[in-house]
Structure 1
């Protein structure tokens, strides 16, 4: 068995596409009817479609999962966040561990928790 992708539910698919493109460099691979597959196998699905599928309301920002990215140019990424056209919500400050690894936790526009760390 092989994991093929990870799907997150979003309120506004266009806003989310721009967020993941401008900050993380993810491009659209396939788009159809409220679903978008981005590079790195991240899938975005509009909330109304997912709610119809599971017959329940979506609970945004539930802290039940996290997307993890690694970035070699961490300082450059932090600058990109500062200049992003929308306010980025952070889950805490930049943390630097004793062995040199740095991480930052933040939220996407719908409250999905994202961690960005140095390799």
Structure 2
């Protein structure tokens, strides 16, 4: 067995596709109408379908998991983030952990937590 993809719930799938393409360069691999598979294994699922599948409400900004990306030029990434998405909601701005890694955490437009850090 192997882990194939990971799925996040989004309200506006096209807006989210653009967000992940603009910031991380993820490309659309498959569009199933309400479900999109992007490169690197990220799947976007429209909230209305996910609620129907689960029969439960979606809890935004639940902080129970995060998408983690590594970036060599983190300062350049932050400039791009602020240029394309100045309204982004930060969990923490650029900080340096005790082990020397620089990281930034913020939410995507649907409250999914993202961390971008320098290479480990």
SS of residue paired to 1:91: strand
1:13-40 superposed Cα distances (whole Å, 9 cap, x missing partner): 0110010000111010000120000000
With normalisation by structure 1, the TM-score equals: 0.95
Which residue matches 1:39?
39
Compute the displacement of 1:83 (Å). Answer: 0.3
SS of residue paired to 2:116: strand
Unaligned ranges ≥5, structure 2: none
RMSD (CA atoms): 1.1
Alignment of 1:55-70 (within 5 A): 55-70=55-70
With normalisation by structure 2, the TM-score equals: 0.94
Following superposition, which runs of at least 4 residues in structure 1 exceed 3 angstroms of deviation?
none
Unaligned ranges ≥5, structure 1: none
